[in-house]
């Protein structure tokens, strides 16, 4: 897939405020500081689509981007940002959960996992929650360029083994590096395939 135009549609605090037109949606979500903004910018091949910040927890609403008038890229708030207040975290969680559960146009959610670390409890809990609610998702391993090739394989195997304690099989997985544009074509081709079936 080749992306020609990317335009910001808006930020929404509730799922009910999101665009009403019938267009496929692809959401991106992960723990704070997982590299979500960098990945989105890499996929769109533009620097300033999603705002990259050294401060986690910057995304606090459901952000919509129109891709070539064909599909929506949806940037969801990161989960697990400890420095935000309990009240804010609770509001974000409810907003995210409602979007994921009721959004009929959502084709798949890309759940990002930082490949440099072992699977965090909050990632495992979120992934299991997605399964319990029958929400279609893929796993996207980020920051592979920070590791040696052998370590990438070892860390992926550890994460998979941890998840297989709860799952019989795992969904589609992508290994990425925003800095080196690794995984871009694979993810975009996957989105195009699902979009064509919508």
Domains detected in the chain: 6-197 (3.40.50.300)
CA 135 to chain centre: 13
Largest CA distance in the chain: 46
Q: What are phi and psi of 67, to 5 degrees?
A: -110, 105
% residues pLDDT > 70 (the chain): 89
**Among the listed ranges 51-60, 80-89, 179-188, which one has the minimum average pLDDT value?**
51-60
65 burial via Cβ count (<10 Å: 0-12, 13-18, 19+): buried
More confident residue, 92 or 140: 140
Question: For residue range 70-115, what is the model confidence (pLDDT) as tens digits?
Answer: 999 999 988 765 555 566 667 768 889 999 999 999 999 999 999 9
pTM for the structure as a whole: 0.92
Query: Nearest-CA neighbor of 110 among 87, 86, 126?
Result: 126
pLDDT for the residue numbered 56: 45
Query: Nearest-CA neighbor of 77 among 101, 61, 56, 53?
Result: 61
Both tokens of 141, joined, read: 């391993």
Stretch 168-174: mean pLDDT, rounded?
A: 96
Both tokens of 33, joined, read: 């500081």
Inter-residue contact 98 to 132 (CB < 8 Å): no
pLDDT for the residue numbered 57: 46
* Rounded CA separation 92/77 (Å): 7
pLDDT for the residue numbered 80: 66
Over 70: is that where the pLDDT of 188 sits?
yes
**Among the listed ranges 31-35, 78-82, 159-163, 175-179, which one has the minimum average pLDDT value?**
78-82
**Among the listed ranges 83-87, 122-126, 191-195, which one has the minimum average pLDDT value?**
83-87
pLDDT for the residue numbered 16: 93
Query: Nearest-CA neighbor of 101 among 125, 76, 134, 128?
Result: 134
pLDDT for the residue numbered 119: 94
pLDDT for the residue numbered 59: 58
* Rounded CA separation 193/198 (Å): 9
Over 60: is that where the pLDDT of 180 sits?
yes
Beta bridge partners of 31: 79
Stretch 111-123: mean pLDDT, rounded?
A: 95
Stretch 121-127: mean pLDDT, rounded?
A: 94
């Amino acid at each position: 897939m080749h992306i020609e135009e990317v335009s910001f549609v808006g930020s929404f605090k509730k799922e009910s405020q999101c665009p009403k037109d019938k267009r496929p949606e692809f959401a991106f979500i992960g723990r704070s500081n997982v590299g979500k903004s960098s990945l989105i910018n890499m996929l769109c091949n533009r620097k300033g689509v999603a705002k990259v910040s050294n401060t986690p927890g910057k995304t606090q609403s459901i952000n919509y981007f129109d891709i070539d008038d064909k599909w929506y890229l949806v940037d969801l708030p990161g989960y697990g940002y400890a420095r935000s207040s309990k009240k804010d975290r609770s509001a974000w969680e409810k907003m995210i959960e409602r979007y994921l559960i009721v959004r009929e146009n959502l084709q798949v959610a890309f759940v990002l996992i930082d490949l440099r670390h072992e699977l965090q409890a909050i990632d495992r809990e979120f992934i299991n929650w997605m399964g319990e609610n029958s929400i279609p998702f893929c796993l996207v391993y980020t920051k592979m360029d920070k590791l040696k090739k052998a370590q990438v394989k070892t860390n992926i195997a550890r994460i998979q083994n941890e998840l297989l304690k709860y799952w019989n099989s795992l969904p589609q997985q992508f290994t990425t590096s925003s800095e080196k544009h690794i995984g871009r074509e694979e993810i975009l081709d996957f989105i195009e395939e699902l979009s064509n079936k919508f």
